[in-house]
Amino acid sequence: MYALVDCNNFFVSCERVFRPDLRDKPVVVLSGNDGCVVARSNEVKRLGIRMGVPFYQIRNEVEKYGIVHFSSNFPLYGDLSSRIMRILSRYTDDLQQYSIDEAFMDLSYMSGTAEAKALCERIRAEIARGVGVPVSVGIAPSKTLCKVASHYAKKYAGYRGVCVIDSEERRTKALAQYAIGEVWGIGRQSVARLQAAGIQTALDFADKSADFAKNMLRLPGLNTWRELNGEDCISVRELTEKQSIACTRTFARGVKDRDLLEQALCRFCANVAEKLRRQHSVCRQMIVFAHTSRFQEQRFVIQDTVTFHTPTANTQEMTGALLQVVRAQWRTDTPYKRAGVILMSLSPDAGVQQDLFDTRDRQRDNRLQQTIDLINARHGRRTIGFMPDIPTAQAAGLYDIGAKSPAYTTDIRDIITLKCH
C-alpha cells in the first residue's frame, strides 16, 4: 500500500502561507520574466483561465476580477517543499519524492487501509499546522492508482483530502470516471492512438489484455496497464533520474556586458551541476549557448558542446570550460537575449572511468565541492561559489520579476517583522 501526498496548487499555496489575506481570492504565479501562468488558485480555474496562457493575454481578466499575480519565487517554494518532505520522512522509511510538490510513501508496515487513512489524515493536519500548505492524499496498492485516488481527494470535498482505493469495486468505479488522457505516464500521442482504438477511460484500457497494452504502447504502456490493475511495478527513482539537465533563460533586455552574461551563465551552470550531484550522476557533455533575439535582422550565436574526457559533476570544472567558450566567441556590442547550459550524456557517479592522462586532482576537487555544498545547504544557496554572484540591481535588469514575493524563509533580510500596537 502506497500513499501519494500531493500539495494543492503548490506555488499559489506557498504565497498564501505568508499572505493569508489572499485566501479565497484569485491568485496566479507566473513563469520566468512573468511570461506565462504556471500556477492557479481554484478561484482562477473557475474563471476558465488555462494553465500556460501568456500573462499579457489575460490582462483584462486580471483587472476585471482582481487577480493577484506573483513572479516565481523558487527559493521559497523549494524551502517549503523541503519542510513538507521532512515531515513525511518521519512516517515512512521509504519516501520517494517525485516532484517539488509530490511524494510517494510506502505504507506497507500499516496493518490495513483504515490505519493508513487515519495516519494520512494526521499527516495532512500536521503539514497544515506546521507549514501552512494544504495537501491531498491518495492511498492505493500501486503508484498509478495513487495518482487516481489523489485526483478524487482534490476534486470531492467529501473525501476530506484523503481518498482510498482498496477494493475491486472502488478501483473500477474510480477508473470508469477517469479520462484516459489524465492517466499518469500516458502522453498526448499515446492518448490519440488509444482513443482511435475506442479507449476513452482508464477502465477501458485496464480491461484490455496485456498484449493489447504492450502492442499499443510498448513496455511503458504495459507497466501502466499493470499498475491500473493494482500491481506495483513503476520505480519513481528511475523516473526522476533525468537523462539531460538544462537551465535556460530569456532575458528581459539584451545583455551587452560580457561580465554580466558570464555571471548569468555561471549561475545556470551551478544550478544544473547541483541537480546533477543531487541525483548522483556525472555528465560527459555540456552545451553552452547565448543567442541574440530571433526578431533581430542579423543574429549572432555563442554555442559550443564541451566534452569532458572524464565525466564530471564538479561546478568549478564546468564553469572553467564555460568561460572558455564565452570568451572565445564573444562579440562586443551584441545584445544577447537568451542563454543557457545543458548537461548531456549522464551516467551514475559510481565507478567513473578515469582518463590515464587526467591532470586534475579529482579527490581534492570532490572534497572541496562537498564542503561547498554543505556550507550552501546550511547558510543558503550561493553563499560560496566559483563566480561573483549577479548584483541585485543588475539581476533586476536581466529578468522581469517585479511581482516576486520576499524570500521569507531563506533570506534573513526578508524575514517577517511583527508590529505590536
Rounded to whole angstroms, how far apart are CA atoms 194 and 189? 9
**pLDDT tens profile 352-364:** 777 767 778 888 8
Rounded to whole angstroms, how far apart are CA atoms 12 and 28? 7
What does the pLDDT average to over 236-261? 84
The predicted model scores a pTM of 0.80
13 CB burial (10 A radius; 0-12, 13-18, 19+): buried
- 113 neighbors 166 (Cβ within 8 angstroms): yes
**pLDDT tens profile 20-44:** 999 999 999 998 778 899 999 999 9
Q: Provide the pLDDT confidence category of residue 221 given band limits of 50, 70 and 90.
A: very high
Structure confidence at residue 395 (pLDDT): 57
Q: At what angle do helices 74-89 and 10-17 cross, to 10 degrees?
A: 100
Structure confidence at residue 107 (pLDDT): 94
- Grid cell, residue 104, equals 510517494
**pLDDT tens profile 336-347:** 998 999 999 898
**pLDDT tens profile 169-184:** 999 999 999 999 999 9
How far apart, in Å, are the Cα atoms of 378 and each of 15, 111, 131, 270, 287? 23, 38, 20, 17, 30
- Domains, the chain, with CATH or none: 111-121+132-237 (1.10.150.20), 245-390 (3.30.1490.100)
Query: In terms of DSSP H, where are the helices of 163-257?
Result: 168-176, 188-196, 202-206, 210-228, 236-240
Structure confidence at residue 393 (pLDDT): 46
Radius of gyration of the chain, Cα coordinates, nearest whole angstrom = 24
What does the pLDDT average to over 270-295? 91
- Grid cell, residue 49, equals 483561465
Q: Is 1 helix (H, G, I), strand (E, B) or coil?
A: coil
Above 90 in pLDDT, residue 296?
no
